[in-house]
Amino acid sequence: MQMNLTTKLVYALEHIAHLHDLLEGNEYETHLLRSVHEIEYELERQLSNEKVRTGRQLAKRPAYPPCIIIPKG
């Protein structure tokens, strides 16, 4: 079964959401999440463009807030 572009983008964004969870508490969380946020932004942009192109509206998914790390001590 082939997936259409919208399905692929939504699927990729679901994986990005899991990365947010998996990187939580990592020593380099801030550094790693910068890259994740760049990819997430691009996927969201492409999904928005695809929705406009196809005239579809998808259910809004919860957005993750930017990662802010507060140093201990």
Task: Break the chain into its structural domains and give their ranges.
Answer: 1-73
Quick: pLDDT tens for 11-21. Answer: 999 999 999 99
Q: What is the DSSP letter of 32?
A: H
Quick: pLDDT tens for 35-56. Answer: 999 999 999 999 999 999 888 7
Report helix, strand or coil for 53: helix
Q: State phi, psi for 29 to the nearest 5 degrees.
A: -55, -50
Contacts of 50 (CB under 8 A, 6+ apart): 5, 6, 9, 56
pTM: 0.70
